């Protein structure tokens, strides 16, 4: 990447080797990074990423939008009722694919 580049990761934390990224950012080999996902979540409070001025960290809730909380509550209520009725819940996470 060029020194003027910014790395943006909103996909999966494991895609980026955080120790390499931290070294790259410390040495200013790239301009900066914006990160919404991490190898281990939540990000450990002692992570050097918190101290880097050329890093933007966001909580892993990139899906947050107006009305988000209401939709989450509605989905939870729907799934609670489906669970109580021994029905398959909606938006179930596949443990094999991890999403």
Q: Report domain extents, the chain.
A: 6-57, 63-93
pLDDT given at position 42: 84
Element (H, E) at 19: helix 18-26
Catalytic residue chosen out of the listed positions 14, 28, 40, 41:
41
pLDDT given at position 63: 67
pLDDT given at position 91: 84
* Phi, psi values for residue 40, rounded to 5°: -125, 125
pLDDT given at position 27: 97
C-alpha closest to that of 43 among 61, 64, 19, 59: 59
User: How many CB atoms lie under 10 A from the CB of residue 85?
Assistant: 7
Q: For the chain, which residues score pLDDT lower than 50? A: none
Task: Compute the mean pLDDT over every residue in the chain, rounded to the nearest whole number.
Answer: 90
Residue 7 tokens, joined: 């790395």
Catalytic residue chosen out of the listed positions 12, 28, 29, 82:
12
Active site residue 12: yes
Active site residue 92: no
* Phi, psi values for residue 9, rounded to 5°: -125, 110
Active site residue 20: no
pLDDT given at position 40: 87
């Amino acid at each position: 990447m060029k020194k003027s580049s910014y790395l943006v990761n909103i996909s999966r934390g494991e895609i980026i080797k955080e120790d390499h990224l931290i070294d790259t950012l410390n040495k200013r080999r790239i301009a900066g990074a914006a990160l919404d996902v991490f190898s281990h979540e939540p990000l450990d409070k002692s992570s050097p990423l918190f101290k880097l001025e050329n890093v933007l960290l966001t909580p892993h809730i990139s899906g947050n939008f107006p009305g988000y909380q209401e939709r989450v509550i509605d989905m939870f209520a729907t799934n609670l009722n489906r669970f109580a009725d021994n029905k398959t819940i909606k938006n179930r996470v596949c443990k094999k694919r991890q999403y």
